[in-house]
Structure 1
Amino acid sequence: MARPKILKLPEVLEEIAMSRAAFYRMRARGEAPKLIRLSNGQIRCHRSDLDAWWERQEIAAV
């Protein structure tokens, strides 16, 4: 079974077209996609969590 795709933070930022600073402000407000922190301190996002976040954004825009 293939593991789900895990995105690096720069990949997430590129996809949502947002600066790192703006992303961290959104994260502080609890509005960012769900993230995981690896033991080496790096931040990742599961593709499924990013897709779910996109869906919530689309619903909120309606």
Structure 2
Amino acid sequence: MATHRQHLTIADICQELGISRRTFYEWRAKKRAPRCIKLPNGDLRIRRTDFLDWLDSCEEAA
């Protein structure tokens, strides 16, 4: 059984969505990316729950 990490890296998010880091940072600048946590060293992490909530909010009604 695979365990999922509670916090994802930008690389994890980009791989999951099939986007470039540049696209992620453009979305972040436009406040369209999932909420991020900024670590003391400047790295960003995204809570898995925030990512999944954000992904749900992107869903369009058919």
Q: TM-score normalised by the shorter chain: which range applies? A: 0.7 to 0.9
Counterpart of 1:40 in 2: which secondary structure?
coil
Deviation track 1:11-52 (CA, whole Å, cap 9, x = no partner) reads 011111110111111111110000011001111000000000
Could you state the TM-score of these two structures normalised by the residue count of structure 2?
0.84
Q: How many percent of aligned residue pairs carry the same amino acid?
A: 33
Extract unaligned runs of 5+ from structure 1: none
User: Deviating runs (4+, > 3 A) in structure 1?
Assistant: none
Which structure features the higher share of helix residues?
A: 1
Extract unaligned runs of 5+ from structure 2: none
Count of matched residue positions in the alignment of Structure 1 and Structure 2: 57
The 5 A counterparts of 1:1-62 are 5-58=6-59, 61-62=60-61
Q: CA RMSD in A?
A: 1.1
